[in-house]
Homo-oligomer: A and B are copies of this chain.
Amino acid sequence: MSSIHPHARVDLPAGFRAAGVTAGLKASGSPDLALVVNDGPDHHAAAVFTTNRVEAAPVTWSRQVVADGRVDAVVLNSGGANACTGAQGFLDTHRTAEHVADVLGISAGDVVVCSTGLIGELLPMDKVTAGVDAAGAALSPAGHEDAAVAIKTTDTVHKVAAHAGEGWSVSGMAKGAGMLAPALATMLVVLTTDAVVEQADLDAALRRATAVSFDRIDSDACMSTNDTVVVLASGASGVFVDGGQLSEALTIVCSSLARQLIGDAEGAAHDIAIEVVNAASVEDALEVARAVARNNLFKCAVFGNDPNWGRVLAAVGTTRAAFEPATLDVAMNGVQVCRSGGVGEDRSLVDLDAREVHVLVDLHAGRESATIWTNDLTHDYVHENSAYST
């Protein structure tokens, strides 16, 4: 089902070590605990988190850790989200950070914690701490791929990406396959760079990069309680990189990872780009694209290779964006099925067999544009999500 092909191996930039181990949190026995350590000399960091008001304990913890701009290590577990777990859940996150700090000889206040999996269950802390011990022992400059594998939940493939500057680089790993929605997804992302950067530049560059990548995928309109994207900068390359270059590099890596998330979304059979052009504002373009991306009837139609463009129009009509219904144009995979709000070219000309689908909505209301990537709604999506907790 996935369009993601085996990718080239991605290694860590200079100054980092990582590991991925099996702590026994997953019933499957697959790797489920990862550790990424920044050995410096710099320890700059920035992060963005879910905007869900019901946030998991590790999110609450990690917000505080990142607030001072320094992070020495990130510990991530799959097999349990540690969300809606009350005071005990927060204590467990704290204890995990303390244990990582003990193993590495650093401060717990510099350890970001990320968890993913089922909501509403406490983590088996004996397994978590044993896993941290094992990961600490396995840390290696060659550990990026192992860590990326260990953060998978229902992902069918692990996701990594990289971008090389002159004498410096950015690497990234991501997990996420469902609950992909705006303001992030059910996703955890660790970005690493050996560039020498200003902390303020790192924070701004991360926000710019995520705004046009992870914030513009919307697989199923469901927002997670655990989403975290963290970037660590070691400065180990000795190469100073300004905010503009950094922003560009992070955007490239984040966009690749975001596209990989959509390509591996749970049960999806199509990856759909909803491109909205000639909008009065980027906000309008995003509102319209998101309305289409979230329309279950449209998503079912794409699954059935059915170019039911009326459902696109019906979705556009629910927005507050500037447009006149009588001037809307819609094309599907290059066929202008709707012209001036009415019937255009014959819908039977549209070929939806390929995994990638392009829907172009022309609002004729301005000069701005934006694209949201989404997926179709399939039997496999229903199947995979109908018995997750049992």
Contact = CB atoms under 8 A, between A and B. Distances in A.
Interface of A: 52-55, 81, 83-89, 118-122, 178-179, 220-225, 294-297, 300-301, 303-311, 313-319, 323, 325-326, 328, 337-338, 340-343, 347, 377-379, 381-390
Contacts of A386: 300-301, 303-304, 306
A220 B296 contact: yes
Nearest to A86: B342
Ranked 7 nearest A-B pairs via Cβ: A119-B310, A304-B386, A86-B342, A54-B317, A300-B385, A52-B317, A304-B387
B387 A306 contact: yes
Contacts of A340: 86
Q: From DSSP, what is the main secondary structure of chain A's interface residues?
A: loop
30 contacts: A53-B317, A53-B319, A53-B323, A54-B317, A54-B341, A55-B317, A84-B338, A86-B340, A86-B342, A86-B343, A88-B342, A118-B310, A119-B308, A120-B313, A120-B347, A121-B343, A179-B297, A222-B296, A222-B297, A223-B317, A224-B314, A296-B377, A296-B381, A300-B384, A300-B385, A303-B386, A304-B388, A379-B382, A379-B383, A382-B382
A379 to B, nearest CB: 5
Contacts of A378: 382
A106 to B, nearest CB: 30
A223 B390 contact: no
A94 to B, nearest CB: 16
A87 B343 CA distance: 11
A81 B309 CA distance: 13
A385 B296 contact: yes
Contacts of A382: 300, 303, 377-379, 381-382
A346 B222 CA distance: 24
Contacts of A347: 120, 389
Contacts of A314: 52, 54, 83, 119, 179, 222-225
A310 B121 CA distance: 9
Contacts of A381: 296, 300, 382
Contacts of A220: 296-297
Contacts of A121: 343
Contacts of A337: 120
B295 A222 contact: yes
A309 B223 contact: no
Contacts of A325: 53-55
Contact of A318 (B120, B223, B316): B223
Contacts of A84: 309-310, 313, 338, 341-343
A63 to B, nearest CB: 14
Contact of A221 (B54, B88, B223, B296): B296
A104 to B, nearest CB: 30
B120 A343 contact: yes
B313 A54 contact: yes
Given A317-B223, A325-B53, A120 B310 contact: yes
Nearest to A338: B84
Contacts of A305: 390
